[in-house]
Amino acid sequence: MRLSDAQVWGAIAGLVVMVFLTRNAFLVVPMRWQPRGAVERALRHAPLAALVALVTPSMAEALIAPGASLASVWVDARLPAALAALLVSRLAKSAFPGMAAGVAVLWLIDAMS
């Protein structure tokens, strides 16, 4: 069953509330509940872990697919493109060249196959 227009707006309003609650959770609770010391410092590495977790499943998809081969991973192009993006951004110590390299590899492989 489709949601009515009003229901969709209701769903969106609720999403706004949910996102606001999660993103501001520790900003509104009293200071003494905030993680401090070693925990706080460790939490500063959470975004790195999250970014890695955000990208790796689709990068690895072709690799872990049943019957995966070097050729299928190459034609899928996502893993080679990601490795290029990682390598170039690491060497250049800058994100944009890395993204450009990744896109270039993606295009090249798509053009070749």
Partner 1 sequence: MIPSERAAFIDGARLIGGTVFGTFCWGAAIGMALVKGGLSSMQALGMVMLVFSGTAQVAALPLIAQGAALPAIWLTALLANLRFVVYSAVVANEFRGRPMAQRLLIGWMTTDTGLAAYLSGQQKATASISERDRAARFMGANGLVYFGWTLGTAVGVGVAGLIPDSPRLAFVGLLAVVAIIGPMMSTRLAWSIAVPAALVAVIGRDWPWRGGMFAAIAVGVAVAMLMTRPPQRLSGPAS
Binding mask 69-108 for partner 1 (x = CB under 8 A): ---------x--xx--xxxxxx-xxxxxxxxx-xx--x--
CA-to-CA distance for 66 and 73, rounded, in angstroms? 11
Strands (E), 1-113: none
Min separation Cβ 103 and partner 1, Å: 6
Residues near 99 by Cβ (< 8 Å), separated by ≥ 6? Answer: 85, 89
Min separation Cβ 68 and partner 1, Å: 13
User: Running DSSP on this structure, what letter comes out for residue 67?
Assistant: T
Residues in region 46-65 near partner 1 by CB under 8 A: 46-60, 64
Min separation Cβ 21 and partner 1, Å: 7
